[in-house]
Amino acid sequence: MIVIASSNGRIGIQRSMDILKAGGSAIDAVEAGIRLVEANPEDHTVGYSGFPNILGQVELDASIMDGRTLTSGAVGALQGYLYAITAARKVMDSLPHVFLVGEGAARFAAEIGLEPMDLLTDDVREIRQRRLLKSIPQEIFDKLDQEPELRRWVHLATDPERAWSTVNFIARDANGDIASGVSTSGWAWKYPGRLGDSPIIGAGNYADNRYGAAACTGMGEMAIRASTAHSIVFYMKMGLSVSEAGKRAMEDLNDLGGRYLDVMNFVAMDREGNHSGFTSMPGKSYIYQRDDMAEAVELERTFVKLNQRWQNPESE
Ligand code: GLY
């Protein structure tokens, strides 16, 4: 039994492992671990106290995938409810659908009994105001929700000071079944309704018992365009090791044309539980815990250089 996660998953990985040790399934372990990250007020990239969109609304994206059956569930742009990963799980378990967004996702969250909650904390409200007012005149900021050309300001979503992090969990249980989950509040100051890779099966998340699983954090637009999570698993299907598959999928991103930032990370596991982490930013780590370990251990991710192809209008 093993759980791997992005390093901000430390707060939840022990809970995941306890579930596996008690005979629970990989899918239960993934959901439980991610819920603790979503509730962590220190983490501004996931769940409660996540950075909001440009209008100050916290919009959550999450997905979960069961490698036994390739069943999956996802929610996107969910406002007003904390446990996006549980909403995604319930979509998977109780609807004939895979993906709900916006008002439909919020309605569903209420139906399944999730508590409504204001996810925007005072400190994040203040960070947003301070940052946006550096670039947006006060009179426009005060009426931003009525701004007819909101797109003018959305380049702020590529602010390099704002991590566009996310949490990734992959678990393998005592039966050898694999599951993966991803949750995020997405890019700070994004355009309302923007979905990243996290809720998109095949982009930010993929699990298949026969080959393995992968989950991404970073610039979701790139993972969407390259189907990165699915590519990693597909490369394993083609016979590559988990390390070769990850490097290959990262290198694929350098072949994308158009604009993108050099920000991508992912974790991957093969069907035997061998794992690896990858990053385009040197010095990044991920964590893993096997059932014979007292606590999670941090491992350096393999660095693969991406070519930056982005210029912020503000710096032009
Ligand atoms: N990878 C998270 C996002 O792009 O929203």
Residue 316 lies in a domain: no
Interval 94-102 mean pLDDT: 98
pLDDT of residue 260: 73
Q: How confident is residue 316, by pLDDT bands cut at 50, 70 and 90?
A: very low
Is a pLDDT exceeding 70 seen at residue 162?
A: no
Interval 278-305 mean pLDDT: 97
Is a pLDDT exceeding 90 seen at residue 155?
A: no
Residue 85 is part of which domain span? 2-310
How remote is the CA of residue 188 from the centroid of ligand 1, in Å?
10
Which atom of ligand 1 sits closest to the CA of residue 220?
A: 4
pTM metric for this prediction: 0.96
Is a pLDDT exceeding 90 seen at residue 287?
A: yes
Is a pLDDT exceeding 50 seen at residue 169?
A: yes
* CA separation for the pair 236, 289 (Å, rounded): 22
What domain count does the chain have? 1
Interval 272-278 mean pLDDT: 98
How remote is the CA of residue 293 from the centroid of ligand 1, in Å?
31
Which residue has a Cα nearest atom 4 of ligand 1?
220
* Beta strand 297-300 pairing with 302-303: unpaired
Question: What is the DSSP-derived secondary structure letter of residue 116?
Answer: B
Is a pLDDT exceeding 90 seen at residue 231?
A: yes
What spatial distance separates the first Cα and last Cα of the chain, rounded to whole Å? 50
- Residues annotated as catalytic are 166
Least confident span in 118-127, 224-233, 240-249, 301-310: 301-310
Which atom of ligand 1 sits closest to the CA of residue 185?
A: 5
∠ Cα 135 136 140 (to 5°): 180
Q: Tens digits of per-residue pLDDT, 189-201?
A: 999 999 999 999 9
Q: How confident is residue 267, by pLDDT bands cut at 50, 70 and 90?
A: very high
Residue 130 lies in a domain: yes
Is a pLDDT exceeding 90 seen at residue 163?
A: no
Residue 96 lies in a domain: yes
pLDDT of residue 312: 56
Q: How confident is residue 24, by pLDDT bands cut at 50, 70 and 90?
A: very high
- C-alpha to C-alpha distances, 88 to 204, 304, 307, nearest whole angstrom: 14, 31, 34
Residues flanking ligand 1, CB < 6 Å: 164, 166, 184, 186-187, 196-198, 204, 217-220
Those residues whose C-beta lies under 8 Å from the C-beta of residue 302, and which sit 6 or more positions away, are 243, 246, 247, 276, 277, 278, 279
pLDDT of residue 257: 85
pLDDT of residue 181: 98
pLDDT of residue 315: 45
pLDDT of residue 200: 98
Interval 44-62 mean pLDDT: 96
**CATH of residue 177:** 3.60.20.30
Q: Are 110 and 102 in contact (CB under 8 A)?
A: no
Is a pLDDT exceeding 60 seen at residue 213?
A: yes
Q: Is residue 39 packed enough to be buried (19+ CB in 10 Å), middle (13-18) or exposed (0-12)?
A: middle
Interval 108-133 mean pLDDT: 96
Is a pLDDT exceeding 90 seen at residue 164?
A: no
Is a pLDDT exceeding 90 seen at residue 161?
A: no
How remote is the CA of residue 165 from the centroid of ligand 1, in Å?
7
DSSP E strands: which ranges in the chain?
2-6, 60-66, 71-78, 99-101, 167-172, 178-184, 205-208, 212-218, 264-270, 275-279, 285-290, 297-300, 302-303
Interval 120-133 mean pLDDT: 95
Which atom of ligand 1 sits closest to the CA of residue 217?
A: 1
Q: How confident is residue 311, by pLDDT bands cut at 50, 70 and 90?
A: low
Q: How confident is residue 41, by pLDDT bands cut at 50, 70 and 90?
A: very high
Residue 69 lies in a domain: yes
Interval 2-11 mean pLDDT: 98
